[in-house]
Amino acid sequence: MKAILVEGNELAWAEAEAPALGPGEVRIDNHATAVNRADLAQRAGGYPPPPGASPILGLECAGIVAAVGEGVSRVAPGDEVCALLAGGGYAETVVVPAGQVLRKPAGLSFTAAAALPEVFATAYLNLFMEARLTKGERAVLHAGASGVGTAAIQMCKAFGNPAFVTAGSADKIARCVALGADGGFNRHQGSFAPALADWTAGQGADVILDPVGGAYLADNLKSLAVDGRLVLIGLLGGAAASAPLGLMMMKRLRIIGSTLRARSIAAKATVMDALQKRVWPLLESGAIKPTIEQVLPIDQAAEAHRLIASDQTFGKVVLAIR
């Protein structure tokens, strides 16, 4: 098979060893994958795959089931599917545990379906499972124009949660609002905290989903309501910060650290099952849609990485393989 290989600092579409199919696994003839910031970090040597995962880049895919291993009844050869991966998506052939595979939502292309698994799983896991966001509670979504952000905006709207976003331009804020956000703030204009306080009439947000980390910690905690929850899913703004412990105690705040990639197969299957039950019907009805900035051929993976690194994209960048 062919795959994108990291050669020095370059990405090359070259021959690679095809993965073996084991019990409980699914082999997929891959039609499309999508780019995530984790791919850029892995390429730079800062985010190695978990033990046993493919070293090839790519955390999601969409394609046709070619074969299934012993004990698999979830899908069958010929099914059109998409999958959440621990690695290996930038390749013609993918092997993945069956619990991480879902049939492609009806009506979606492979390129559209490839934009779903990683960001919708991340957003759903952290908002509705880790933070236990309930109907009517207010959410803050930092990096609202990202893949995770655009997925989270739509799910918040669908499930009855007012959402406030931060993003890097007025145009991105406007597009987030058009997608379903209720308010927003341009992060280049200073602290988001005063604007968020106005939006909540001083009451604070119930849940904050944050890929920034250290640089936002003080404002995040100040901006939470009593019993508020902060979910950290990234460290783009630094890995260290001081926490106002007295404030945390007085407001009964919780900080939840969360990653998806290194979770167990069973844990990932639980998230995917929840998506199938609660989100897939909304995708099939058109109430929720994957947000795609651009689709590029797989041999232009380096250009796709450049686009993501530019911070000028809105939603996902997808790589077409077939």
238, pLDDT greater than 90: no
Residue-wise pLDDT for 182-226, tens only, equals 999 999 999 999 999 999 999 999 999 999 998 999 999 999 999
Q: What's the DSSP call for residue 105?
A: P
Distance set, CA 29 to CA 12, 90, 95, 161 (Å) = 20, 12, 9, 38
Name the CATH superfamily for 120-257.
NAD(P)-binding Rossmann-like Domain (3.40.50.720)
d(CA 295, CA 307): 11
List every span in the chain annotated with CATH 3.90.180.10.
Answer: 2-116+264-320
φ, ψ (nearest 5 deg) of residue 273 = -65, -40
The reported pTM is 0.97
- Give the architecture-level CATH label for domain 2-116+264-320: Alpha-Beta Complex (3.90)
Residue-wise pLDDT for 130-180, tens only, equals 999 999 999 999 999 999 999 999 999 999 999 999 999 999 999 999 999
Instruction: Provide the sign of the torsion angle of the four alpha carbons 293, 298, 301, 303, taken in this order.
Output: negative
Strands 316-320 and 25-35: antiparallel
List every span in the chain annotated with CATH 3.40.50.720.
Answer: 120-257
d(CA 259, CA 125): 10
